[in-house]
Amino acid sequence: NTTSILCVDRNGCCNFTTVESAVDAAPVLSQKRIIIWINSGVYYEKVRVPRNKPNITFQGQGYDVTAIVWNDTANSSHGTFYSGSVQVFATNFVAKNISFMNIAPIPSPGAVGAQAVAIRVGGDQAAFWGCGFFGAQDTLHDDRGRHYFRDCYIQGSIDFIFGNGQSFYENCQLVSIASPVQPGHEYINGVVTASGRDKPDDTG
């Protein structure tokens, strides 16, 4: 058998009621795929997939009915990098039909420490199909590694896709929720992403 399935249901209909407890139960350095089947519902928790838990799949029931939600900000979590509702450091991570949300308040233009990441993807060869990413400033931290996003919905206001990942986005919908600012205002209120290149011809 090349796969193993763990089931999560917040109402107790499976072996696990939280996503984090299922991740904790996944074997270390598994060579086979571990599918974490997540039933419909909103899971209010912070989830971390550590480096020693490769080959994990989060399988939701639709990004509009299955979501992992938290509300950390850069101020509350000792920095933007640690504010993610979900943080993935393992290789070969896959997510399908699930949303990742950070529900911290939308920051005002120029606010300090209000970055609020929905997911940080820091493992190589991650893939997302039919997923939702919801936040405001710094929604999707495409941190490092090679990543693929297909048929995803990505929402935010300021630099809501950022990082050093080498990623391909296919048929994804990018939605800005930035509010208008008055003419001549000092700050820009809506930017999808900002370049982090070290030199103009850097393509990676």
In a domain, 161, yes or no: yes
Question: Would you say 126 and 92 are in contact if contact means Cβ atoms under 8 Å apart?
Answer: yes
Asked if residue 21 is part of any domain, the answer here is: no
Q: Please count the structural domains in the chain.
A: 1
**Phi/psi of residue 128, each to 5°?**
-135, 125
Q: Is residue 2 part of a domain?
A: no
Residues of the chain short of pLDDT 50, as ranges, are: none
In a domain, 26, yes or no: no
- Does 138 participate in catalysis according to the annotation? no
Using a 10 angstrom Cβ sphere, with 0-12 exposed, 13-18 middle and 19 or more buried, the burial of residue 32 is exposed
Q: Note the pLDDT of residue 200.
A: 64
pLDDT for residue 115:
86
**Beta carbons within 10 angstroms of residue 158's beta carbon:** 27
CATH number at residue 158: 2.160.20.10
The pLDDT value given to residue 26: 97
Domain of residue 78, residue span: 39-176
pTM of the model: 0.89
- CA max distance for the chain: 62
Q: Which of 161, 163, 164 is nearest to 153 (CA)?
A: 161
Of the residues 159, 198, 201, 202, which is catalytic?
Answer: 159
Helix (H) or strand (E) holding 175: strand 173-176
Residue 107 resides in a domain = yes
